[in-house]
Structure 1
Amino acid sequence: MRGQPILEYRSRCGWSVVLRPYHSWTALFIVRNHNDIQLTWRARIIALHEEGISSRGIAQQVGCSRSCVQKWIERWHHTGNLNGLERRPRSRVTSQEEDQRIIQAAENDPFTNAKAIREELSLEVSAETVRRWLHQAGIHHRVLTKKEQLIDTHHAARLAFARQFIDKGMEF
């Protein structure tokens, strides 16, 4: 049945992947990000498997290893899901009390930075960890630019320089 969907799968984000056989497999949906590309690739593996193509043949057509093809076929049969596994969250290296102290230190001195906060509180974490907690709290410190303040002598020197070359042409 040419043109009929061979496989339809709805992702967690609500995108529907419909694969139809033409000269090559085509996915009929808008690819929004890398995860959608992976989802299309996995759906293609399942569609080719359901057509009766061997794992080795699928691997050659898709351009991946045979073990990868077998993993997605097995996961499809066990779970009916083409999404990746849920990832564990990052393990905590600071307590909630330390998090509060980090935020309090940043609020007390808005011109401090993550490294100074870490040293001030004697924390055994990286400055990046402190920065991450500050960002989660909505505190985004920036390093102030160090600009020399121009005084009257600077203004006078600039004006004298400009007057010196005012009569020179553009060829100068």
Structure 2
Amino acid sequence: MNNQFDELTKSLTQSVTRRAALKKFGVGLAGMALACSLSSPLRVTAATLGPLVELSQPNPLAGCNSGFLPPGTMTLNDAAEPFIAVNPVHQNNMVAAWIGGDFQNVITAASFDGGLTWQQVPLPVTTCSSSQPYPGTGDPTLSFAPNGDLYASVVVGFSFSS
């Protein structure tokens, strides 16, 4: 059995010449370049996008005070850590998420018309938006599955001490 394996590896080694290796390497580079160019986002100019739309204002939870006071100078109307995902099944369906206020909650906004109009929806993960016992949240992440299902992930339940 060992002899058969040795003979097989010898024949494989001899069939891979420097020229063949370079040819395979070149094809690999060309394929990688093509894959990168196909996966690069389409570049468009601002003129083709239309007017900017501010999604984070008004903050639907600006009046809520969960008692969570992180260090720093954030206010109830601040927005931080934005994240956006586009549905691979329906390209006009986009969802954005961000931290609203001083880590009060993660706010999401959904568009079904390519970003022309948006609807805000706070995720029910903190005391400001649900009966959950968590005073703060952060690190919003969104992802669409290949079938179009949306997944959201956030960190909840902060505690800072001075």
TM-score relative to the length of structure 1: 0.22
Larger Rg, first or second structure (1 or 2):
1
Structure with the bigger RCO (C-alpha within 8 Å, sep 6+) is 2
TM-score relative to the length of structure 2: 0.23
